[in-house]
Amino acid sequence: DAGITQSPRYKITETGRQVTLMCHQTWSHSYMFWYRQDLGHGLRLIYYSAAADITDKGEVPDGYVVSRSKTENFPLTLESATRSQTSVYFCASSETRVGGEKLFFGSGTQLSVL
Amino acid sequence: GNSVTQMEGPVTLSEEAFLTINCTYTATGYPSLFWYVQYPGEGLQLLLKATKADDKGSNKGFEATYRKETTSFHLEKGSVQVSDSAVYFCALVHSGTYKYIFGTGTRLKVLA
């Protein structure tokens, strides 16, 4: 199906474990983003990517790693999970044309770190 | 720096009531302004946008006007429905930067 998909939908892990959240889009959008959503903070940008092999830090990048070897995939890795990383994570993509800044969101991954 | 401030929720209304959700922003230059909506268990989706001063964005009966003089982008709807129950996010982005600044979200609950 066309669109942007995230997996898993729910994940429970333990402190110190490595976790990877997957994101796949079928539109060939150049820009992709990872946000975390926390009560009282709204959405905060973790990392973004302008194209394959081009990534940059957002507002809250500490403890996270991203890669983008292919345009359609943008995985987010928590190298050593901490309780403060319990959150809902959203992947999004966007076209590159001026005025095309509309974000297309996945359905989210709810992560609990115990 | 750039920021977006939304009214605290939750907002609880009866069906067919008038809705206003306030949003003000701080930004240099002339950002584009957006309202996104998040239904339960889903990701955000664009509701409406405005790209310059005095523009009015509208969609599904919702409206918001880009007010440069008051740095505001308040969301309104004349008659809400139960199906409008969701969380609404105000956001801004400067053209070409793709770095959105989101407000904290306002939860709307509409009672039948």
C-alpha–C-alpha distance, residues B11 and B14, integer Å: 10
pLDDT in tens, B48-96: 999 989 999 999 999 999 999 999 999 999 999 999 999 999 999 887 6
A47 - beta bridge partners?
A34, A57
pLDDT in tens, A18-76: 999 999 999 889 899 999 999 888 899 999 998 999 999 999 999 999 999 999 999 99
Predicted confidence at residue B41, as pLDDT, reads 86
Inter-residue contact B89 to A43 (CB < 8 Å)? yes
CB contact under 8 A, B98 and A99: no
A101 touches chain B (CB under 8 A): yes
Q: For residue B102, give the nearest of A42, A98, A102 by CB distance.
A: A42
C-alpha–C-alpha distance, residues A6 and A91, integer Å: 7
Report the 10 Å Cβ neighbour count for A95.
17
Residue A100 has pLDDT above 60, yes or no: no
Predicted confidence at residue A74, as pLDDT, reads 97
pLDDT in tens, B38-53: 998 889 999 999 998 9
CB < 8 Å to A106, chain B? 43
CB contact under 8 A, A90 and B99: no
Predicted confidence at residue A57, as pLDDT, reads 94
Among chain B residues, the shortest Cα distance to A6 is held by B43
Residue A95 has pLDDT above 90, yes or no: no
CA A36 to chain B, closest CA, distance in angstroms equals 11
Q: What mean pLDDT is reported for chain B?
A: 93
Residue A2 has pLDDT above 70, yes or no: no
